[in-house]
């Protein structure tokens, strides 16, 4: 394997790869997937040529500027992508807002841009922070790609933006890394720290927006010190039943989207709910939307509705569950390790998860409140 190639982590189930976008950050396409958006499905339905282009980019195949010009602008316009016109300008060599944007800045801006198109768009403190992280990783990523590991370590160690995610041992590990495994270990540990921070932001925002008085997502994490790991899906449905008072009855509120309500087979729904609890699959956005409408009413998503808090909390817990599921294939195998393997002096993966998630939750509370 070429050591300069971006390594990635495998996931169980269908053969999939979790790609990095640079030295430490994961590909923003994963963010869309975790939000329930499949780029491949959208592109396949709307524009097969764009799907082929996207797949070739993922396979690291060379893409000609002529092909990009012919496919990209019209495809982005067809899905109402906010920056479609800016990409057309950039491809034609015209002055454009997106020229030189990194993948994370492009992703964050596209989600933040308002109807008036003002530039740059106003972003959350989390969005701005990850834009700054991506910028801070440009030179270290180039040094890593050129196999200049000592320079790479020096660059990250001197960055005030990256400092909160680094500890002495990981910098040393990266500096001394010689094999793909050595480098991937160091990169993986920092990615996990970044991912916890990203997740804790959403949790803290629920409190600052007065939807919660404490961490909501803490209850979704399994205890990594136990031999049998409880699926986050089970914790999600346990919470939902307790929150809505539907213990033992939740299946009656789940609609089979492909059938009218009168034809819903309750035994089939109960079996499906048991499979979801075991971690086999996850309900689609359509199924969850129908479930929450049954529980809270058709207008619960409207601000000011008496059940809006329930709607927001439930969707927040869903997204957090998917993020924690994303972590499991990386984190669970670390159960067997003890000692300096873990960040910031933690002895076990459970200690790391508890202490660092609590750290990031407390970190974001005043920053979000200050921005509000």
β-bridge partners, 10: 17
pLDDT digits (tens, 9 = 90+) for 303-317: 999 999 999 999 999
Buried b (16+ CB within 10 A) or exposed e, 299-335: ebbeeeeebbbbbbbbebbbebbbbbbbbbebbeebe
Q: What is the CA radius of gyration of the chain?
A: 22
Domain boundary among 106, 137, 169: 106
Domain count, the chain: 2
> What is the per-residue pLDDT for 239?
97
Give the count of beta carbons closer than 10 Å to the beta carbon of residue 234.
17
Can you give the residue range of the structural domain that contains 40? Answer: 26-106
Q: What tokens does 16 get?
A: 């999939």
Q: What is the pTM of this model?
A: 0.84
Give the count of beta carbons closer than 10 Å to the beta carbon of residue 214.
10
Alpha-carbon torsion angle 269, 273, 274, 279, nearest 10: 140
Quote the CA–CA distance of 157 and 151 in Å, as a whole number: 10
Domain boundary among 85, 106, 127: 106
Phi, psi for residue 24 in degrees, rounded to 5: -125, -30
Domain boundary among 68, 87, 106: 106
> What is the per-residue pLDDT for 203?
98
Q: What is the pLDDT along the chain (372 residues), one digit of tens a residue?
A: 333 333 333 343 443 466 899 999 999 988 888 876 666 665 555 677 777 776 777 677 888 888 877 777 777 666 566 667 777 777 777 777 777 788 899 889 888 887 777 778 899 999 999 999 999 999 999 999 999 999 999 999 999 999 999 999 999 999 999 998 889 889 999 999 999 999 999 999 999 999 999 999 999 999 998 889 999 999 999 999 999 999 989 999 987 655 555 556 888 889 999 999 999 999 988 899 999 999 999 999 999 999 999 999 999 999 999 999 999 988 888 887 776 668 888 889 999 999 999 999 999 999 999 886
Residue 120, preceding bond cis, omega within 30 degrees?
A: yes
Quote the CA–CA distance of 301 and 249 in Å, as a whole number: 23
Q: Is residue 146 part of a domain?
A: no
Contacts of 200 (CB under 8 A, 6+ apart): 217, 357, 360, 361, 363, 364
Q: Is residue 179 part of a domain?
A: no
Q: Is residue 282 part of a domain?
A: yes
Is beta strand 8-11 parallel, antiparallel or unpaired with respect to 16-19? antiparallel
Q: How would you write the chain as a 3-class SS string?
A: CCCCCCCEEEECCCCEEEEECCCCCECHHHHHHHCCCCHHHHHHHHCHHHHHHHHHHHCCCCCCHHHHHHHHHHHHHHCCCCCHHHHHHHHCCCCCCCCCCCHHHHHHHHHHCCCCCCCCCCCCHHHHHHHHHHHHCHHHHHHHHCCCHHHHHHHHHCCCCCHHHCCHHHHHHHHHCCCHHHHHHHHHHHHHHHHHHHHHHHHHHHHHCCCCCCCCHHHHCCCCCCCCCCCHHHHHHHHHHHHHCCCCCHHHHCCCCCCCHHHCCHHHHHHHHHHHHHCCCCCCHHHHHHHHHHHHCCCCCCCCCCCHHHHHHHHHHHHHHHHHHHHHHHHHHHHHCCCCCCHHHCCCHHHHHHHHHHHHHHHHHHHHHHHC
pLDDT digits (tens, 9 = 90+) for 12-51: 344 346 689 999 999 998 888 887 666 666 555 567 777 7
Give which of 357, 355, 359, 348 is closest to 226, Cα–Cα: 348
Quote the CA–CA distance of 327 and 350 in Å, as a whole number: 13
Q: Is residue 165 part of a domain?
A: no
Check: CB of residue 120 under 8 Å from CB of residue 109: yes
Check: CB of residue 47 under 8 Å from CB of residue 75: yes
> What is the per-residue pLDDT for 14?
40
Same domain, residue pair 222 and 102: no
Quote the CA–CA distance of 88 and 298 in Å, as a whole number: 40
With the C-alpha atoms ordered 94, 134, 328, 247, is the resulting torsion angle positive or negative?
Answer: negative
Q: Is residue 141 part of a domain?
A: no
Q: What tokens does 229 get?
A: 């790991």
Q: Is residue 21 part of a domain?
A: no
């Amino acid at each position: 394997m070429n050591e300069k190639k971006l390594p990635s982590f495998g996931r169980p189930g269908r053969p999939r790869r979790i790609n990095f976008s640079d030295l430490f950050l994961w590909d923003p396409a994963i963010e869309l997937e975790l939000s329930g958006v499949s780029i491949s499905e959208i592109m396949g339905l709307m524009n097969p040529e764009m799907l082929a282009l996207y797949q070739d980019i993922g396979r690291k195949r060379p893409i000609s500027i002529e092909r990009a010009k012919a496919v990209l602008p019209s495809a982005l316009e067809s899905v109402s992508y906010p920056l479609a016109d800016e990409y057309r300008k950039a491809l034609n060599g015209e002055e454009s807002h997106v020229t030189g944007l990194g993948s994370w800045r492009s992703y964050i801006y596209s989600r933040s841009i308002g109807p008036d198109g003002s530039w740059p768009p106003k972003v959350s403190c989390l969005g701005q922070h990850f834009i700054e992280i991506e910028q801070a990783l440009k030179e270290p990523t180039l040094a890593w790609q050129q196999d200049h590991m000592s320079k790479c370590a020096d660059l990250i160690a001197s960055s005030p933006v990256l400092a909160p995610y680094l500890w002495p041992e990981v910098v040393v590990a990266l500096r001394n890394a010689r094999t793909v495994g050595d480098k991937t270990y160091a990169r993986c540990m920092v990615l996990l720290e970044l991912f916890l921070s990203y997740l804790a932001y959403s949790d803290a925002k629920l409190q600052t927006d007065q939807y919660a008085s404490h961490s909501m997502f803490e209850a979704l994490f399994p205890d990594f010190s136990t031999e049998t790991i409880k699926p986050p899906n089970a914790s999600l449905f346990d919470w939902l039943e307790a929150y809505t008072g539907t213990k033992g009855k939740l299946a009656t509120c789940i609609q089979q989207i492909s059938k009218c309500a009168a034809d819903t087979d309750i035994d089939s729904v109960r079996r499906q709910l048991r499979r979801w609890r075991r971690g086999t699959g996850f309900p689609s956005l359509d199924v969850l939307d129908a479930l929450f409408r049954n529980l809270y009413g058709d207008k619960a998503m409207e601000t000011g509705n008496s059940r809006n808090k329930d709607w927001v909390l439930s969707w927040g817990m869903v997204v957090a569950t998917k993020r924690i599921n994303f972590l499991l294939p990386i984190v669970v195998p670390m159960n067997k390790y003890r000692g300096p393997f873990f960040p910031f002096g933690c002895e076990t993966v459970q200690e790391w998860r508890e202490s660092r998630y609590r750290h990031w939750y407390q970190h974001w509370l005043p920053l979000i409140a200050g921005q509000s």
